[in-house]
Chains A and B, each alone.
Chain A
Amino acid sequence: MKSVCFYFKIHQPFRLKRYRFFDIGNDHYYYDDFSNDEIITRLAHQSYIPMAQTLLDMIKDNPGEFKCSISISGTAIEQLQLYVPECIDLLKKLADTGAVEFLSGTYAHSLAALEDPEEFIREVKMHDDLVEHLFGVRPSTFANTELIYDDDIALLVNSMGFRSVLTEGAKHVLGWKSPNYVYTAAVAPDLRLLLTNDKLANDISMNFNNPSWDEYPLTADKYVDWIASLPEQEQVVNLYLSMDTFGTFLPKQTGIFDFLKALPRFGREKGVRFSTPAEVLGSLKPVGELSVMHPISDIDEARDVSAWKGNELQNEALRKLYGAAERVSMCEDRRLKQDWEYLQSSDHFFYMSTKNMADGASHAAFSPYDSPFAAFTNYMNVLGDFLVRVQEQFPESIDNEELNSLLLTIRNQASEIDSLKKEVKNLRTNILNADDSNNAPVAKPETPAIADKKEPEAEPKTEPKATAKAEKAAKPKAPRKNAKRK
């Protein structure tokens, strides 16, 4: 029995508004609400909502036989909540069927995995908290931003407790191997890898509506047949598709939704089932190890990370952004934290790509900017303002380590003062009691401290304690610099 896993990706970034250099320091709102609203509303009505309804119907009509998974970013959820809340309700309904697995990922669809491990861990946790809160189940399969993956990420994800990752079945990594098996990560033997089958995914996303394709038109019958006739040992086909393909690039009139609806019937006839990744991993054994030295992704011809880190502009912007990561992690300003999330979306860097030829066209098609240079300029202006705000939170002269310990001291001081106040009160009552009894017994062991504690300047006493704590707390921060990638 072969399994097909559908993964539907939903992501939208918070696009930036036009932000000129003379706005730096004057205007702290960065987003193009109009186009964000327009785009997500249009996509929801053309694609997400009809698609979710189709999936609901398929699950209802084929109880227990049709399952799939959805990978949705935190920023997309926020935008849907803001502009198309009815779409969130549909996703909840899908979750309630129990037939849809929601995948783990980064909150802002960010590149943190490549830039800053600590930030990455925070991003994933934040994403999974939101998914769990909304859909009731904590994700167990990890799918990074555009499936970015390499050995370092494998270790990181494994250390976070994940046991399975979906990534790209890139030809240059697989070589002669087939993506239709479960593998394990060479560096983390208990981390299992699911690999996407690009050919079969493209037959839907690129070729379904392409009359010049030699297999056109594609029917559910034929498609399931192809899967059924794969070699017997190849037990799983992972199809990673952007959900907005359905209904926009493949409009309703092409019959794409009917194609999907017909799949389970033919699957039943030919022994192909539609599962969630968790199910597949429960039933299949890994056949081998995969080692990925250089990061791969599902974007562009090269299937690497050059779409976001391919030129000097992108690297500079990323460097400046993540250079502030540690500072931001110490801030508590809510709006600052929110901007930090939104500015991390990989899309901003995608727009800065200077690739030409085939890849360039897809970069340009999704970009709200005239040119990569305009994308860079606008982003850097916004980042300029953001960094000023970060700096204003704390004086620049203090370095991060020192600041961290000072912050701890301050936080500890509050509790310290509270407990001291209590002690003072206790002692006072004791003294009063003693005075009352007139016959003072021997003072309690704490008494010698009384004189000091009554003074408002209790600091000399508390400081050593606090710093000791601070040092302890600061320790996990130390490896950050070493862990950072070059």
Chain B
Amino acid sequence: MKALMFGWEFPPHILGGLGTASYGLTKGMHANGDMDITFVIPKPWGDEEKGFAQIIGACNTPVAWRDVNWDFVEQRIGKYMSPQLYYDLRDHIYADFNYMHLNDLGCIEFSGKYPDNLVEEINNYSIVAGVIARTIPCDIIHAHDWLTYPAGIHAKNVTGKPLVIHVHATDYDRSRGNVNPTVFGIEKDGMEHADHIITVSNLTRRTVIEKYGINPDKVSTVHNAVIPLDDELLNLKRSESKDKVITFLGRITMQKGPEYFVEAAAKVLQKNKNVRFVMAGGGDMEQAMIRLAAKRGISDRFHFTGFLKGKDVYQMFRDSDVYVMPSVSEPFGISPLEAMEMGVPSIISKQSGCAEILDNVIKTDYWDIDAMADAMHALISYPALHNTLRDKGIEEIHGITWEKAGKKVIDIYKKVINDRK
């Protein structure tokens, strides 16, 4: 089966969970065999893992004719894709886009990030999708998250093939209910044009059905999984510390509920002085949190690291005794799974999607500061609990594989294609 996927991020150059999930899922589907996947991203860097999918960069796809020879193409974009593919794509240009700002290969520039002119970039991505869809034969189109829905719709219109959209998050999660009308519009449009919608949790599935008014029959949940970590990360050494460390790691934004973490920390510190709290990450609520910690009089035991990336993230897990994710609304939330794989017991909010599939974690309501503080205290005071959650957690994570998730997605493809016949 041939699938044409549209995504926005791809490891190792990722900004959030979307890239990791797209990568894991694609790899998991490939492992099920008999899948021929083309994965489109705005801007490849050349160091993406290949082999399980053909990666096409929107920034390397011509939308206007340029007379360029093989050697020139090879030299310019050979690192990202074969010149032959460039010529194939060039043969399928469907309109004259010379009025746009194009480079010497006739391609549109993409940042591949989340720039201020994001809506314009989304639109351009959809223009490019028209060329790709005309070039690459496929049985099904799969679009990851709202940024790529317009591209997916365009590809569907061009090819007449069914469209599956994958909802990794909705604007309701990001905004605690105050949605951006433009984003909401794009999301709703994508959902309505889709033949089937995959959500990363039942929580998100309910949002799609209730907030976007989508027919429940065409919405299915496929929970995310976790990619096994490299030994290099698993074998990181723990830094020396006399104190127990309890960590919050993620964007410090309204969605992630950082203030509940600070309040719970204050409760624990009233009773137990031998513990430190770390808030790792950046975000628009960082300063407010620094002020809140000061107001509660716990700044001497409450630390901010700023934004962490790469190996630092895993070093942070390694140095932690407890990981807390108090998200107010989390479509899935991959980081507790990573913490658990590193052997760090986690406390997660019941309002997060991963709570639906995890057993060996402590679940509390995000607003229940008492329960959260109690769980923190228990994990640092009762070694038996810590050890049990650590050991059983690792075991549990090893059973959550992308291959299983990939299988579910393939089954959905088959059903959607059959329904068409």
Contact = CB atoms under 8 A, between A and B. Distances in A.
A354 interface: yes
A312 B388 contact: yes
B370 interface: yes
A373 B381 contact: no
B90 interface: no
Given A20-B373, A381-B378, A373 B384 contact: no
A161 B385 CA distance: 40
A415 B359 CA distance: 61
Interface string B369-383: 011011101100111
Interface string A347-371: 0000000101000000000000011
Contacts of B270: 22
Contacts of A311: 388
A374 interface: yes
B271 interface: yes
B373 A380 contact: no
B183 to A, nearest CB: 35
Contacts of B374: 20-21, 377, 381
A315 B378 CA distance: 16
Contact of B388 (A21, A313, A356, A374): A313
Chain B contact patch, size range:
20 to 34
B280 interface: no
B378 A371 contact: no
Contact of B362 (A21, A354, A373, A381): A373
A32 interface: no
B375 A377 contact: yes
Given A312-B384, A377-B378, A371 B362 contact: yes
B318 interface: no
A81 to B, nearest CB: 33
Contacts of B268: 21
A316 interface: yes
B388 A22 contact: no
A376 interface: yes
A376 B381 CA distance: 12
B267 interface: yes
Interface in B108-131: none
A313 B362 CA distance: 14
B30 interface: no
A374 B362 CA distance: 8
A362 to B, nearest CB: 17
Interface residues of A, number: 20
B363 A371 contact: yes
B389 interface: yes
A376 B392 contact: no
B19 to A, nearest CB: 32
Contacts of A373: 362, 375, 378, 385, 388-389
Given A22-B267, A354-B392, A376 B384 contact: yes
Candidate in B268, B370, B384 with the most chain A CB atoms within 10 angstroms = B384
Nearest to B347: A373
B267 to A, nearest CB: 6
A311 B389 CA distance: 11
Contacts of B371: 20
Contacts of A371: 359, 362-363
B387 interface: yes
A312 B382 CA distance: 11
Nearest to A24: B271
Contacts of B359: 356, 371
Interface in A290-322: 311-313, 315-317
Nearest to B375: A377
Interface in A166-203: none
B388 A380 contact: no
Contacts of B267: 22
Scoring B371, B373, B378, B389 by chain A CB atoms within 10 A of each residue's CB, the highest score goes to B378
A443 B27 CA distance: 108
A21 B271 contact: yes
Interface in B345-397: 359, 362-363, 370-371, 373-375, 377-378, 381-385, 387-389, 392
Given A20-B373, A21-B378, A22-B267, A376 B363 contact: no
Contacts of B392: 354
Contacts of B389: 373
Contacts of A374: 362
Given A20-B373, A311-B388, A313-B388, A377 B363 contact: no
B271 A377 contact: no
Nearest to A21: B377
A314 to B, nearest CB: 9
A433 to B, nearest CB: 69
B381 A21 contact: yes
A316 B382 contact: yes
B352 to A, nearest CB: 15
Contacts of A315: 384
Contact of A316 (B271, B377, B384): B384
Contacts of A381: 374, 378
Nearest to B389: A373
A373 B346 CA distance: 12
Interface string A10-35: 00000000001110100000000000
Contacts of A21: 268, 271, 373-374, 377-378, 381
Contacts of B387: 312
A24 B374 CA distance: 11
Contacts of B381: 21, 380
A207 to B, nearest CB: 31
Nearest to A376: B385
A374 B377 CA distance: 12
Nearest to B361: A373
Contacts of A313: 384-385, 388
A110 to B, nearest CB: 20
A54 B389 CA distance: 48
A371 B371 CA distance: 13
Candidate in A20, A311, A373 with the most chain B CB atoms within 10 angstroms: A373
Interface string A335-357: 00000000000000000001010
27 contacts: A20-B373, A20-B374, A21-B377, A21-B381, A22-B267, A22-B271, A22-B370, A24-B271, A312-B384, A313-B384, A313-B385, A316-B382, A316-B384, A354-B388, A354-B392, A371-B359, A371-B362, A373-B375, A373-B388, A373-B389, A374-B362, A376-B378, A376-B384, A376-B385, A377-B362, A380-B381, A380-B385
Interface of A: 20-22, 24, 311-313, 315-317, 354, 356, 370-371, 373-374, 376-377, 380-381
Given A374-B362, A381-B374, 11 more contacts: A20-B374, A21-B378, A311-B388, A313-B384, A316-B383, A354-B388, A371-B359, A373-B362, A376-B385, A377-B375, A377-B378
The 4 closest A-B pairs by CB, nearest first: A316-B384, A377-B378, A21-B377, A20-B374
